[in-house]
Structure 1
């Protein structure tokens, strides 16, 4: 899915307003979250602004000047990080997602080893568990067009969906799921919102004999979601919440 430049600019402007309630701006609280990442040895995924090449790294230390991360072992990636004005970071703490931009990075030494020092971010997107809770769409209303590793394309029913991933149910004889596989370029048509394209990493596989003898379910995590797709997914989830509340009130 490719947005036109004008459409992308409008969406990006809208994204900031949409996520405002999830941002942390307090400097002490931001440092606290970064210190927790260090203390719990949490990995961070990093990529340079405008690049799709990402790599996991460790946050080593937080000090008054910034925070320190491991140097990537790929020289081309290190050069890209050093040249970028902004790096984008993603991590998690107790199933709460943290995302923030910062930069530029400066090459230095930490513990007698090369490391990158990055300024403390001015804001951090902190999505707690509720934003990632799964919702069940009304039966038959949501499907995913899967691009399988072996090149096949099949349609699967979405059993539940949240901000962090979804579960799909497909006919066993038509799919070959493997835990760890990343299914690239899968498509979901969100009612009243439009189509989104997502990459899915298979986290677990379940037999669903009570649904049908040939039914197989795969729990999947979203990988490298763009901000535009994140926004559309959360709009859809909020709509599901509103619809469920309206039905509950009608039944009272």
Structure 2
């Protein structure tokens, strides 16, 4: 339903989905009242239109939006079978989509109209915020590699979020792993317990240290992580934040 937003955290968009019509109406009304700009992305195109909500009419099941001053762009929007929208409200990221955009008028001016979405995504900051994991006693993930790569291998984490983890592969065991999936991985979260999930490597960064050794960091996203496992990750992030805040308070 949200094909155009490729961020790692959106692999688990269902965990942040809002389906309450009353809540959806309130969020859209709030976006309109605060005149928040909305990015509008047409499926299959790279250019982004900027729009805003003019009115949310619950009785008519309609959201009225500004159209572009670019008439060609408006034509592409109206011809599109799918349009994605992204904005923020009170530092919360809001994503929704429409299968059809219609031409209409609002208070005498040209406008777009879409149906009130049946669901939307609400991503609060913590849900895509990465936090560094301990260096002295690192959190580890077990990746069940094939025998030719040495079999099951553990890697230390550099950071964690509800969208994924960064791991350190300083021995270059995984090689050029971007795009590869690793099923049945196991992250041992201290005081929380083990978390099982599939991982996909999304990016790789090699850093040369002062001693000329190379440090490789691989960014991995969770693939189809179970809700219970995601809840455990959220608890662990909260625990790390509390510990960090306590250290900062102790130093002040």
Normalized against structure 1, the TM-score is what?
A: 0.55
Q: Given the superposition, is the C-alpha separation of residues 146 and 236 from structure 1 closer, same or farther in structure 2, using an over 3 Å criterion?
A: same
Indicate the SS of the match to 2:141.
Answer: strand
Unaligned runs of 5+ in 2: 1-14, 33-37, 45-56, 63-79, 103-114
Map 1:144-223 to 2 at 5 A: 144-148=141-145, 152-210=151-209, 213=213, 215-223=215-223
- Give distance in 2, aligned partners of 1:224 and 1:238: 22
Q: Given the superposition, is the C-alpha separation of residues 93 and 201 from structure 1 closer, same or farther in structure 2, using an over 3 Å criterion?
A: farther
* Comparing 131-140 and 233-242, the one that deviates more: 131-140
- Give distance in 2, aligned partners of 1:158 and 1:204: 15
State the shift of 1:172 in Å: 2.7
Aligned to 1:126: 122
Aligned to 1:224: 224
- Give distance in 1, aligned partners of 2:214 and 2:61: 58
Indicate the SS of the match to 2:169.
Answer: strand
Q: Does structure 2 conserve the Cα–Cα contact (< 8 Å) formed by 1:154 and 1:174?
A: no
State the shift of 1:181 in Å: 1.1
Map 1:225-240 to 2 at 5 A: 225-240=225-240
- Give distance in 2, aligned partners of 1:208 and 1:128: 31
- Give distance in 2, aligned partners of 1:27 and 1:227: 26
State the shift of 1:226 in Å: 2.0
Map 1:34-53 to 2 at 5 A: 39-41=40-42
Map 1:17-96 to 2 at 5 A: 25-29=23-27, 39-41=40-42
* Higher RCO (CA 8 Å, separation ≥ 6 residues): 2
Q: Given the superposition, is the C-alpha separation of residues 185 and 29 from structure 1 closer, same or farther in structure 2, using an over 3 Å criterion?
A: same
Q: How many correspondences in the alignment? A: 181
* Comparing 211-220 and 240-249, the one that deviates more: 211-220
Q: Does structure 1 conserve the Cα–Cα contact (< 8 Å) formed by 2:185 and 2:197?
A: yes
- Give distance in 1, aligned partners of 2:245 and 2:86: 30
Of structures 1 and 2, the larger Rg is shown by 2
Q: Does structure 2 conserve the Cα–Cα contact (< 8 Å) formed by 1:146 and 1:155?
A: yes
State the shift of 1:225 in Å: 2.0
